[in-house]
Structure 1
Amino acid sequence: MNSAAHSPRLRRGATTLLAALALAITPAAAASAFPGADSLDPVVPGPLPSVPSLDVERYAGTWLQVAAVPQLFSLDCARDTRATYGIIGEGQVSVNNECTTWTGDTNTIEGVATVTDANTNASLQVAFPSVPFQLPEGLPNYVVTFIDDDYSLAIVGDPARSSGFVLSRTPDLSDQQWRNVRDIVASRGWNPCFFLTTPAAGGKNVIQPLCTV
């Protein structure tokens, strides 16, 4: 992956992204999006719950990221972020992540996801050989916490909710779908203002907090 320090355009893009995130997490933004939220007592949620059962074969294929909690490793991704999953064998899935950078280049990284909960198939550990400091074997960092009945929309994150991704088979969500996504994200213990929309061809072309969509 390219570093944000290597390109003035990339630095400007990363700065814009971080500024949007700063707006997203202000109490005022949260209060305006969810009236009365500032009066709620703080609650520390447990680990992110998974769906009761995931059909891994149906889950395979290409997903478009339509919103996500910004991560350091993705700051150089400007738009058209996607993940393609393929079945390798029992309990193992190939991972190919791709995005268009702020300079118009394409970034890709490949890895392997291993199911860590055979009862649900919905908790996995994703590992990228080119990335140092991987999790110890057997610990999940990818939990499918929501999947639509037709496997057209998914919400995933790590158990501690430091990451979160809204994935769709198509880039164009309706207003009602965005509202549903926002409600589901909140019900799973995230602040929806922490999620930023991901620009994509045929979908949203702006970066904005999910709580304002």
Structure 2
Amino acid sequence: MTSHRVLRCILGLVAGVISTFALLPAGSSAAAPRPVDGPAPVESLDLNQYLGTWNQLAAVPQFFNLQCARDTRADYTLDPQGNVAVYNSCTTWSGDRNEIRGTAKVNDPVTRAQFHVSFPSVPGQGQLDGPTNYIVTALGPDYSWALVTDPTRLSGFVLARSPALDAPTWDRVREAITAAGQTPCMYLTSPVTGGQTDLAPLCLR
């Protein structure tokens, strides 16, 4: 299957998920309440413990990640200025490695869980200072998994240190997504070597 056909299949799947969610009756368990305010960050983030490599296990589909077929990862390290150096990478549908580098600056000195992430190679996204666009809204107690979204709730990422999570942990992740004012139906699982191999709405997993 060509990469264009794969992308069309993914877009069709996303459209189907959105259509299915739109048809759910009021009060359905898949419908998430939408708080008036933006998603709350975790009470406190230990930045040093948060650094390192994360595997993307699920995400809200975005234009920039449709080219990623599997093994999407984020590597976070401290840079000389005390900000977080971001290195995102994935394997594309053609088997190539795609990567992008950026910087995350803490926007919330109280919780240290809200950031502005900038990518100098992307037009209009190179400013180091800017509004919050990355919120760590849930964390495993041992920093084994994290849920990240933004103030609009239009993006979302389930990150984990390992390539797979057990069933009880996935239950906690889905609960965290709902608590953030989203629905698991917005998220598609991300294929990872050593973990899940399929693309499927998280609410159906």
Equivalent position of 2:194 in the other structure: 202
1:182 matched to 2:174? The reply is yes
Change in CA separation of 1:115 and 1:30 when aligned onto 2, cut-off 3 Å: farther
State the Cα distance separating 1:26 from its structure 2 match: 2.5
1:26 matched to 2:23? The reply is no
1:51 matched to 2:61? The reply is no
TM-score, normalisation: structure 1:
0.88
Change in CA separation of 1:31 and 1:85 when aligned onto 2, cut-off 3 Å: same
Q: Which structure 1 segments of 5+ residues have no match?
A: 1-7
State the Cα distance separating 1:134 from its structure 2 match: 2.2
Equivalent position of 1:76 in the other structure: 67
Change in CA separation of 1:28 and 1:69 when aligned onto 2, cut-off 3 Å: closer
State the Cα distance separating 1:179 from its structure 2 match: 1.8
Q: Distance in 2 between matches of 1:28 and 1:155?
A: 21
CA contact (8 A) 1:27 1:38 kept: no
Alignment equivalent of 1:123, drawn from 80, 94, 114: 114
CA contact (8 A) 1:153 1:167 kept: yes
Change in CA separation of 1:40 and 1:167 when aligned onto 2, cut-off 3 Å: closer
In the comparison of the two structures, how many residue pairs are matched?
A: 204
Q: Distance in 1 between matches of 2:92 and 2:113?
A: 30
Matched letter for residue 51 of structure 2: A
Q: Distance in 2 between matches of 1:173 and 1:145?
A: 18
Q: Which shows bigger deviation, 182-191 or 105-114?
A: 182-191
Q: Deviations over 1:137-173 (max 9, x none)?
A: 2311100001111010000011111110000000111
Matches within 5 A, 1:62-73: 62-73=53-64
Alignment equivalent of 1:12, drawn from 5, 9, 12: 5
Matches within 5 A, 1:126-165: 126-134=117-125, 137-165=129-157
Alignment equivalent of 1:101, drawn from 92, 105, 114: 92
Change in CA separation of 1:114 and 1:9 when aligned onto 2, cut-off 3 Å: same
Change in CA separation of 1:30 and 1:205 when aligned onto 2, cut-off 3 Å: farther
Structure 1 SS opposite 2:2: helix
Equivalent position of 1:4 in the other structure: none
Q: Which shows bigger deviation, 146-155 or 41-50?
A: 41-50
CA contact (8 A) 1:82 1:99 kept: yes
Equivalent position of 1:168 in the other structure: 160
